[in-house]
Amino acid sequence: MKEFLSELIEIPGVSGYEEQAARRIAREFSPYCDEVQTDSFFNVYGIKRGTAAQQASDRPKVMLAAHMDEIALMVRDIDDKGFIRFTNIGGVDQRILLAQEVTVHGRENLHGIIATVPPHLQAAEDSSKVVKMKDMSIDVGLPVKKVKERVRVGDLITFCSPLVTMQGSMVNGKSIDDRASVVMLTEVMKELDRLQYQAEVYCVATVQEEVGTRGAVISTYRTRPDIGIAIDVTHGETPDAAKEDTHAMDKGVVVCKGPNMHPGLTEKFLEVGKEYGLECQIGIAPRPTGTDARSIQISRSGVPTILLELPLRYMHTTVETLNLNHIKAGARHIALFIASLKEGWQEWLSY
């Protein structure tokens, strides 16, 4: 599990350019499901048809969604000294950019550094100011002519930050949002193989979540699920963040409540957790969430949706920190929930 996460976060999968990540994910899904499909936008569908033979009309189709795309940068211009100007793809925090190591995906991959003015050369008032992304540039160590031969406007730039194992079960690295949840999809499939279940399960690794849950829009339309389960990350507690906005890193996955989520189904999900002694925390989202759940819920005629989240520290940085135990625990919880969908499952959808 950790090996797959480690490999996955190093595969570039910038929103809109997920093909390579999709291929790797499809390969990982393949042994654990009946069929793997990939659509023209590179959403990957791992389909499990269920273990119990059922009348087609009375078994639910459950769609799980975890996004494979990552936030990144994109070349906006190259200046006359060969420094690369860039913009963001997804919610990049400009405060953490200076002196980061990056890979510029030009005609060949170039290692680059986001340039920064040394403290010695900063004016007194500059040291307390945030440098704006529009004023930053990337140095790839080549003269302008060679840069322009290798790099064009629109080329992608990803962060370099491989998975690091910390103490206990904690790891950190880039793009754990939301590759950890993609790994969880695989774990759900493995758990399901140990259970009897009737549902038809579509484990979808979605694209373009970071730019507006766009992969979820089209993949949910295509899948036509009866029930949707989005898996994403939420904020883990840190000393400087408000307690009410964060969750413990060691008290289980977060089940999110709010108008974006189906109340009855969410209660059932929590009951299944209680029944099997699985610890979880409650999250609150008073508005449509920023996750795939946002679009799954309002696809076609509407889809009752649950949102499960992994507490993550330092979201949208290169040192996103996660408790690996939560991947396993969340996967088991989802698999047991799916196995609990038996005859009369439609009643769970009533308000």
Partner 1 sequence: MKTLLAHLTGLYGPSGKEEAVRQAIQQEIKDYVDEIHEDVMGNLIAVKKGNGSGRKVMLAAHMDQIGLIVTNIDENGFLRFSNIGGVSPFNVLHRRVVFQNGVTGAVSYETELEEIKNLKLNKMYIDIGAASREEAKKLVQIGDIAVYHAPMADRENRFFGCAMDDRAGCAVLVETIKAVKNSPNELFFVFTVQEEVGLRGARTSAYSINPDIGISLDVTITGDTPKSRPMAINLGDGPAVKVKDSSLICHPMVKNLMIQRAEEAGIPYQLEVLEAGGTDSGAIHLSREGVPSGVISIPCRYVHSAHEMVDKNDLENAVKLLTRILENEIA
209 classed as catalytic:
yes
Which helix (H) or strand (E) covers residue 23, if one does?
Answer: helix 19-29
Q: Which is nearer to partner 1, 219 or 317 (CB)?
A: 219
Chain-centroid distance of CA 139 in Å reads 29
> Using CB under 8 A, which of 34, 49, 58, 87 touches partner 1?
87
Contact flag: residue 284 with partner 1 (CB under 8 A):
no
**Residue 221 CB, nearest approach to partner 1 (Å):** 6
From 17, 83, 202, 345, residue interacting with partner 1 (rule: CB under 8 A)? 17
**Residue 146 engages partner 1 in binding (rule: CB under 8 A):** no
The reply on whether position 154 binds partner 1 by CB under 8 A is: yes
Residues 88-107 that bind partner 1 (CB under 8 A): 89
Q: Shortest distance, CB of residue 10 to partner 1, whole angstroms?
A: 20
316 binds partner 1 (CB under 8 A): no
Distance CA 48, CA 179 (A): 21
Non-local (6+) Cβ contacts of 274 within 8 A are none
Query: Binding residue for partner 1 (CB under 8 A) from 222, 251, 328, 342?
Result: 222
Q: Pick between residue 218 and residue 270 the one whose CB is nearest to partner 1.
A: 218
Query: What CA–CA distance (Å, rounded) separates 229 from 348?
Result: 14
C-beta atoms surrounding 93 within 10 Å:
14
Question: Which part of the chain contacts partner 1 (CB under 8 A), choosing from 68-76, 109-117, 123-131, 174-182?
Answer: 68-76
Write the DSSP assignment of 258-325 as a string of letters.
STTS-HHHHHHHHHHHHHTT--EEEEE-SS--SSTHHHHTTSTT---EEEEEEEEESTTSTTEEEETH
Piece of the chain touching partner 1 by CB under 8 A; list 59-67, 142-150, 207-215, 248-256: 207-215
Is residue 137 part of the contact set for partner 1 (CB under 8 A)? no
Identify the CA nearest to 339 among candidates 210, 197, 228. Answer: 197
**15 in contact with partner 1 (CB under 8 A):** yes
Could you say which of 28, 187, 200, 209 is catalytic?
209
Q: How many CB atoms lie within 10 A of CB 34?
A: 11
CA distance 42 to 16: 9
Measure the CA angle with vertex 91, ends 85 and 96; round to 5°: 65
20 binds partner 1 (CB under 8 A): no
Q: Smallest distance, Å, CB 130 to partner 1? A: 18
State the minimum distance, in angstroms, from the CB of residue 240 to partner 1: 30
User: Looking at 115-211, which runs of residues are DSSP E strands?
Assistant: 138-139, 156-159, 164-165, 170-173, 200-206
Active site residues: 209
Residues forming contacts to partner 1 in the complex (CB under 8 A) are 15-17, 19, 39-41, 74-77, 85, 87, 89, 134, 152-154, 208, 211, 214, 217-219, 221-222
